[in-house]
Structure 1
Amino acid sequence: MAEDYNFDEIKEKIIENLKKVFDPEIPVNVYDLGLIYEINLSIKDDILDCVIMMTLTSPACPVAGTIMEQVRLVTLAVPEVEAAKVHITFSPRWTNEMVSEEGKEIMAVSGAVI
């Protein structure tokens, strides 16, 4: 039942897991890079479903499929989540202004440039 789920807590668990997924060329996780646009939770047929809307740093990203699958798998690793889908959008297009302050600090320390 929907009332049995605390969606805010579940989203926090998902975000914690998303911070374990990295673009192989940038030493910052996909969440702090600002690649995750939406985390939508819903109940469908008594199953907690999660749909993540995300983007990539480039439409030509050679590891897009791998990153999407990693995002899906770490989302499913949250015990409450029983189904997960990941959708890619390029609207709005990603810019380096979307990187979190933590992500910017990591990049500065590592010498990474976007």
Structure 2
Amino acid sequence: MSDNYNFDEIRERIIENLKNVFDPEIPVNVYDLGLIYEINFEQRDAGLYCVIYMTLTSPACPVAGTIMEQVRLVTQAVEEVNEAKVHITFKPRWTNDMVSEEGKEIMAASGAVI
């Protein structure tokens, strides 16, 4: 594996994977919900380390651990990523204004309301 990483390309593949992670109660993926705040990279001796900062729609989310683990796993599924860590933050607090246009269309079509 080369140490010359194309971080933009890797970030895009991570985002593609994140679009397969859903809150079980909302028909929109975590990326289009606006729950992913940052995707950062750090090169280490063992390879590429990725840190994701994300939030949840509610601090009392009953499936927070499951969603975080899914985010970690789909991030590590990108070939260049050797290790991933997911951090939850509530700063800023999530609002439905953070939902992407695509996410809003999916919610409207499904009748989902947040």
Please tell me the TM-score bracket, short chain as reference: over 0.9
Structure 1's unaligned 5+ residue stretches are none
Are residue 59 (structure 1) and residue 59 (structure 2) matched? Answer: yes
TM-fit CA distance, 1:42: 1.3
* 1:42-57 aligned within 5 A: 42-57=42-57
What TM-score do the two structures reach when normalised by structure 1?
Answer: 0.97
1:7 corresponding residue in structure 2: 7
SS of the counterpart of 1:82?
A: strand
Are residue 19 (structure 1) and residue 2 (structure 2) matched? Answer: no
RMSD: 0.8
SS of the counterpart of 2:113?
A: coil
Aligned pairs, number:
113
Q: Deviations over 1:55-105 (max 9, x none)?
A: 000000000000000000000000010000000000000000000000000
Are residue 113 (structure 1) and residue 84 (structure 2) matched? Answer: no
CA contact (8 A) 2:46 2:82 kept: no
TM-fit CA distance, 1:44: 1.2
Ranges of 4+ aligned residues in structure 1 off by more than 3 Å: none
Are residue 78 (structure 1) and residue 78 (structure 2) matched? Answer: yes
Are residue 89 (structure 1) and residue 89 (structure 2) matched? Answer: yes
Amino acid at match of 1:108: A
